[in-house]
Amino acid sequence: MVGRGIAERIFIYDDVLLMTHSFSPSQDGPLKITLNGELAHFAAGSTIADVVARMALGDKRIAVERNQEIVPKSLHAQTALAAGDVIEIVHAIGGG
């Protein structure tokens, strides 16, 4: 368990065990996105870094996908969310 989220899916990719997390969705904010399969609301101007912070994953090894494209960690703070974005975040929890 990470923060207040629970595991939704666990899978293996290149011998690394990965897990997606659900979170406590907020009803605040006009910007609607899909985050790990769930509707989420964020304030206008929010970034990928804001999503990662809300999920309490900032210090974890994660991969972020926005609309089926990987967003490098170096771009999280400058990648703004747009209405309708589909964000998937996976957290590496082990390796082989």
Q: What is the pLDDT of residues 58-96, one digit of tens each?
A: 888 899 999 999 999 999 999 999 999 999 998 877 665
pLDDT for 4 equals 37
The C-alpha atoms of residue 41 and residue 80 are separated, in whole angstroms, by 14
**Beta-ladder partners of 9:** 20
Domains (range + CATH), the chain: 7-95 (3.10.20.30)
The C-alpha atoms of residue 33 and residue 21 are separated, in whole angstroms, by 15
More confident residue, 46 or 25: 46
- Asked if residue 19 has pLDDT above 80, the reply is no
> Of how many residues is the chain composed?
96
**Beta-ladder partners of 11:** 18
The C-alpha atoms of residue 22 and residue 38 are separated, in whole angstroms, by 8
First to last CA, the chain: 21
pLDDT for 42 equals 93
* Residue in 89, 37, 85 with CA at minimum distance from that of residue 60: 89
Percent of the chain topping pLDDT 90: 53
